[in-house]
Amino acid sequence: MNQRSWKLPLALVCLAITFSASCAAAEEQKVKSRVETVTLYRGQALVTRTVDLPAAAGEVEAVVGDLPEQVIGETLFASGQNVKIRSVRFRTVPVAEPPGKVAAEMETKMKALQGQTASNTQMLTILENKMKYLDKLENFTAPTLQVEMAKGVLNAAQISELTTFIFKQRDELAASRVKMGQEAQQLQEQMSLLQRQRQELAAGLSRTDRQAAIFLSKEAGPVTLRLSYLVQSASWAPSYELRLDETAQSVTVDYVAQVQQTSGEDWTDVTLTLSTATPALNAEIPLLTPMMIGLAGGAKQMRPQPTTAAAAQSYSDITRSQSGALGAWHAATQDRAMANWELNRISAEAQSLELAATDETLRQAKGLRALEEGLAVSYKVPSRMSLQSRKDTQMVQILSGKVKGKGFYEAIPLLTNYVYRGLEVINTTDQPWLAGPYMAYVDGEFVGRGELPMVAKGQDLRMGFGVDTQLRCWRELKDKSEEEKLGSKIETFTYVLHVDSYKDKPVAVRLIDRIPIAKGNEMETQVGKTSVPLSIDPAYAQGQDKAKGVLRWDIEVPANASGHKDFKLDYSFEMKYASDRRLNAAPAQMMEEMRQEYDMQYKAKR
């Protein structure tokens, strides 16, 4: 070995020995700490404690104990001013505590029970002996009575007296045995309970203390250190209460967080922040690998293409999986190579679909992805909070305020005879609203539950407030006809849409229906005459619903319009197709495409 080859290892060994000697020379001191701030994520929490260090200068190994059961030891880190942190180590130390006053009292109770049990056993033995004596007395008396009866000198009074005595003694002994048996059972139950409590106490006395050992050097004077770590078994989810006011033109939004906290430590009087972000444990930059593609089949060979809705949904599913893989990469602490490859694999699937997709597919997929990509937000609770480590759900209010809106009623007689109450609002609060369940109230009465989508600041939203029992709707097929012209068949359908109102004032209602549409150019469908023009609301007139056959009328239903006075809307539509073709309504393939279209529409609406 030459001189240069051994100089570096020797230097590293010397450095290690020097550091070890410094750690050994540092004085170990147990220090007090308290939880000061908590950032609660979805599934984890970042906890920060303040640690008061001794005033003396020098090297110190400060030991912070009583860390929670769900602490992630590898996430410990410390910081502070006028102090130099050398290392932070996580360790577990078995602790055997003295029995204390409770254990001594328990031992006294157990000894007393043992004495009572012994007395009970002795009394049962005495009762058993008395019973045996009575048996012997009966066995002695019976032959004697037979002899006297044979001699004719039987004394009836003596026989009666003896019989009464034996039965009386047996009754008393039987009652005593039952009483002593019950007492023995009670003593056994009390002893079992004390033994179980003693075992639990012994398990508590022998516990594991989770500690952070912080090796540092500091200057003279008081120093406050900040120790942070992640814990598991802590999460939160948004929830809402929506209360529609009397005018149905504004809503009071109570936005709360439902907190699950079983980390093993109580958070008492802390500064709490609720976050939807993912705590990153991986600082590496991911690697992008080259993508390989190939060709298959001849120029004329065509493979079946999925529908636009199905392809867009597949693209959306892949990008959602990519989001999950990204979260796994950020959280990776060991197998980073596999997490990085998973990112590359899923991104290759998404890119392959892009290469083969149509413009319409990409447009729809882009819209879905924009809806599904969560907004990373943080809510800092204005006042200090206390959250105990326990199994039940705890509530934290995020905001409460009134939001103005535009009330409406919506009738869809093709789906239901009920008319629903709704409110269109714009999020004018200072915070975005995350997707979550809500409970709806009208005039202080609970009317149902629903789901809110994610709503950014300034974004509009439709809220549902259940059924209005004073409104009803229904649909009637009034006429159907068909004719043939120039090789084409034309079918005409005429409908009447009815709305009943039992209200004492007119109400505005959105009346919804639909006409069928066909793929390609094999059939033409168009709306004919309508007694009320279709809605000119830009949200409908310029939207996708109208282009896909959904009809909407904005009507005003008069007061007390019911029975023969109900509101009626007449409309017709035509279907035109080749006379040699026949109508095949809603086959299995079409129903599947309808389902895919519905899934996309449902996500877009909510």
CB 531 within 8 A of CB 571: yes
Using alpha carbons, select from 304, 307, 302, 362 the residue that is nearest to residue 520. 307
What are the CA-CA distances from residue 271 to residues 17, 40, 111, 268, 436 (Å)?
Answer: 42, 11, 50, 9, 24
Which region among 24-38, 332-346, 358-372, 463-477 has the lowest average model confidence (pLDDT)? 358-372
Which region among 184-188, 439-443, 534-538, 548-552 has the lowest average model confidence (pLDDT)? 184-188
On the question of pLDDT at 178 being above 90, the answer is: no
- How confident is the model at residue 366, as a pLDDT? 54
What are the CA-CA distances from residue 566 to residues 387, 415, 493, 557 (Å)?
Answer: 56, 19, 22, 8
Which region among 108-117, 154-163, 418-427 has the lowest average model confidence (pLDDT)? 154-163
On the question of pLDDT at 259 being above 80, the answer is: yes
User: Which one of 211-220, 356-365, 385-394 scores highest in mean pLDDT?
Assistant: 385-394
What are the CA-CA distances from residue 137 to residues 154, 171, 555 (Å)?
Answer: 18, 16, 106
pTM: 0.67
| Rounded Cα gap, residues 365 and 574, in angstroms | 32
- How confident is the model at residue 169, as a pLDDT? 81
Q: For the chain, give the percent of residues with pLDDT over 70.
A: 78
On the question of pLDDT at 303 being above 60, the answer is: no
Q: pLDDT tier at 330 (50, 70, 90 boundaries)? A: low
Give 339-380 pLDDT, tens digit per residue.
Answer: 788 877 777 777 776 676 666 555 555 554 444 444 578 899
Give 111-156 pLDDT, tens digit per residue.
Answer: 888 888 888 888 888 888 888 877 777 676 666 666 665 666 556 6
| Rounded Cα gap, residues 54 and 572, in angstroms | 87
- How confident is the model at residue 560, as a pLDDT? 94
Q: pLDDT tier at 598 (50, 70, 90 boundaries)? A: confident
Q: What number is the average pLDDT over the span 313-341?
A: 64
- How confident is the model at residue 464, as a pLDDT? 94
On the question of pLDDT at 104 being above 90, the answer is: no
DSSP string, 247-308: TSSEEEEEEEEEEEE-SSS-EEEEEEEEE-S------SPPPPPP------S-SS--PPPPPH
Q: Which residues pair with 237 in a beta bridge?
A: 258
Using alpha carbons, select from 465, 467, 341, 342 the residue that is nearest to residue 415. 467
Give 1-23 pLDDT, tens digit per residue.
Answer: 444 444 444 444 444 444 444 44
Which region among 303-307, 456-460, 541-545, 586-590 has the lowest average model confidence (pLDDT)? 303-307
CB 67 within 8 A of CB 264: no
- How confident is the model at residue 154, as a pLDDT? 56
What are the CA-CA distances from residue 503 to residues 315, 444, 500, 585 (Å)?
Answer: 48, 20, 9, 39
Give 493-518 pLDDT, tens digit per residue.
Answer: 999 999 999 999 999 999 999 998 88
Q: What number is the average pLDDT over the span 582-595?
A: 72
Question: 286 versus 282: which is more confidently predicted?
Answer: 286
DSSP string, 530-561: ESSPPP--HHHHTSHHHHTTEEEEEEEEPTT-
Which element (helix H / strand E) includes 158? helix 156-205
- How confident is the model at residue 561, as a pLDDT? 94
Please state the domain extents for the chain: 18-98+207-234, 100-202, 277-288+306-373, 402-605
| Rounded Cα gap, residues 525 and 549, in angstroms | 9
Amino acid at 209: D
Q: What number is the average pLDDT over the span 547-554?
A: 93
Q: For the chain, give the percent of residues with pLDDT over 90.
A: 41
What is the average pLDDT value for the chain, to the nearest integer? 81
